[in-house]
Structures are given as C-alpha cells and as structure tokens.
Structure 1
C-alpha cells in the first residue's frame, strides 16, 4: 500500500517533508526502512538562527546534498534509489533537460523555489507538460493570491496527486519573484529515482 503525502507540521520542515513524500511516492509503505526516515531527520533542519536555535532557517543545501548522497549509498533488497543534486545553471526546465528526463523516467524532482525575496521553499515536482509543472506542496494552502493565474492550488484528490500547478515559463524565470526558481546562483534541486 502506498501512503498519502504529508503536510509540514511547522514553518521550517519543507525539506524533510518533501523528501519523505518523494520516498512515499516511489515506494510502498512496507518497502521503506525506518533507517531512511531516521537519516532524513538526522541531516535536515541543520541551520542555526538567532540565539543559536537550530532549524529556524530550515535545511541548508549542504544537508540536501548530504541526504541525497546517503540515499544513493543506502541499499536494501526492496529499497534502492538514485539521486542527483543539481545547482545553479543545471536547474533548468528546458525540454530534454535533466529535470524533464527524471520525470519522464518515473522519478520526482525536489525543487527549491522562492516564496519571498528572502524565503525559500521546497516543492515535490511530479509531472510537467508544455505549459505547467505539477507539484505537491507540503505547505497546505487554500488559495494563492496575487499571482494572476501563474500558480494555482488544485484538488489533490486521493492525497497522492499534485495539489499545485505553476506555469512552466513563470517558475523557470530568473527573477526574484514568488513561485520562481530564482536567479541562477541560488538554484538547487534534488532528483530522485527508484532503482530497485
């Protein structure tokens, strides 16, 4: 049985929630070893905010890369994935690119987007067509205001379907705008495929 996707339980846990949802998308519940979940939360929420409080800046790109590397090396009979961390100019939604290839091969892409000029957020991209990218956003929203139709909340139906779609040309632009990948120097994504 596949598990439904989860929503964040705080303002800061988008990365571990997105990775957990990616694993849930790729594997049946009984195939997921507890060690995988342990390591996700061990590595994530590693930033340090004011007053030396851990996690208030969410998860660093170094931790995302570390989780990806660990997942690449952790193998069990019913659990094996390949991951690839992309950054800067590698993070592109162009046709035939690495992100489109990952999705066409049945993988998922965890993309870091901007919510404000200072706030970043990870989404799980599940599909893409010529006009839209289809995501599961672990930050529960009823609607999105001020986007003029560039990003829309959609009905997630069975709890395992996309709940957000964003215009492909909008999200791919290099502007510091909501629901965009943002300027090339700050882009990052984690690609995950099932290999077992």
Structure 2
C-alpha cells in the first residue's frame, strides 16, 4: 500500500458537478501515486479534454459523464507518450471476467491503483478509485461527496474526513457478492483500469 510521502502529495478531490466522476477519479489516482513535482500539466489538460465525452439525448455536452472508451483512450495516450512527455506512469485495463479480487490484489501489491466502474448508493454507474485491499475490506476513494447519514448500507463504511487514500471501506465479502451497489459485479460493463508509477519513480 502506498502512503503519503512527506507533504508532497495533494489531497484527493471531489466532483464539482454531477457528471465528472471519471475525470476526477483519473486525476485522483495520479495525485495518489505521484508527488506534485512529478505531475505534468499536459497530462491533467489531456484528461479534461478526453473525458466527459458522453452527451445526453438532448445533446448537452458531458451530461452523460465519461465513457469506458474515453478512460481506455486516456490510458492508451499515457502509455504512448509516457517516455516522450516524462509522465512517470503506465496503464493497463481489465474487463469483465478479468476483473477479480485476485487481480485487484495483484495491482495493489505492485503499488498500483485502479479506476473502477460500479453502481453507487443511488444505483447509478459511477467511477471510484480502489487504493487498497485486505482480507476484510476494499478501500476506495469515492469522488461523490455525501454525508455519512445518507449511507444506509451496513456493508459500506464512510469516512469523509479522510482525503488521502480512501474515504470508504467496503466489506470484502459484500464487494464480491451479486448485490446491486458497490460490488464487483454491479456495473453493466465491468471495467477496471490499473495505473502504476513507472520503475524508478
């Protein structure tokens, strides 16, 4: 598990609209992995340019949030430009049957984090960051701010005061179940994107 190194990392962020969970989650896992001095402005600019790509039926820009294809395209751009732009990152994507707690454990063991698409407490498809896993819990940072009192799920534990690493823990047994929200199977299109610091960073 990665821990805060000195005071060089920034706090993780919450959404500023109802729709930018994908954008903010991608920025959060870069923030979680890299010190501020290592984060290239071109990368943050590119994430904002490529995300919020889904319009609603009335063609309002971004109201449909960020597609899994856009997340994949951002990852491809990072992998293609990592050396040239000194991004210090690499990505890989897991889909459907590849998305298992065993593979999540492997990513975390390799000091990576995951951008994971789930259904949230309101049964809406939503991106969160998985930052750790152990025998009891999955540790996530959910960029959608809500009060502890709004959570009625006894298997989901909210810690709004924590802005480094995670703000929710999910009982691992529940996460691996077929329940409707905050589980590995809750999204219709199961996709998890792993991101790592490149070697030597």
* Residue in structure 2 matching 1:70, options 77, 91, 94: 77
Give the direction of change, closer, same or farther, for the CA distance of 1:140–1:185 in structure 2 (3 Å limit).
Answer: closer
User: Are 1:150 and 2:155 counterparts?
Assistant: yes
Q: TM-score, normalised by structure 2?
A: 0.87
Q: Structure 2 unaligned segments of length 5 or more: list them.
A: 1-7
User: Are 1:82 and 2:86 counterparts?
Assistant: no
In the alignment, the residues of structure 1 paired with residue 69 and residue 160 of structure 2 have an alpha-carbon distance, to the nearest angstrom, of 33
In the alignment, the residues of structure 1 paired with residue 110 and residue 60 of structure 2 have an alpha-carbon distance, to the nearest angstrom, of 40
User: Are 1:136 and 2:155 counterparts?
Assistant: no
In the alignment, the residues of structure 1 paired with residue 123 and residue 61 of structure 2 have an alpha-carbon distance, to the nearest angstrom, of 18
What is the Cα deviation at residue 66 of structure 1?
0.5
RMSD: 1.9
User: Are 1:32 and 2:35 counterparts?
Assistant: no
Give the direction of change, closer, same or farther, for the CA distance of 1:65–1:35 in structure 2 (3 Å limit).
Answer: same
Residue 187 of structure 1 is matched in structure 2 by 190
Q: Structure 1 unaligned segments of length 5 or more: list them.
A: none
User: Are 1:45 and 2:45 counterparts?
Assistant: no
Runs of 4+ in 1 over 3 A off after TM superposition: none
In the alignment, the residues of structure 1 paired with residue 166 and residue 143 of structure 2 have an alpha-carbon distance, to the nearest angstrom, of 10
In the alignment, the residues of structure 2 paired with residue 192 and residue 83 of structure 1 have an alpha-carbon distance, to the nearest angstrom, of 4
Per-residue CA distance 1:64-117 (angstroms, 9 max, x = gap): 110111111222575321211111111111xxx221111011111111111268
Give the direction of change, closer, same or farther, for the CA distance of 1:113–1:185 in structure 2 (3 Å limit).
Answer: closer
Contact 2:129 2:141 in 1 (8 A): yes
Residue 171 of structure 1 is matched in structure 2 by 175
Q: TM-score, normalised by structure 1?
A: 0.89
Residue 19 of structure 1 is matched in structure 2 by 26
Q: Secondary structure at the match of 2:58?
A: helix
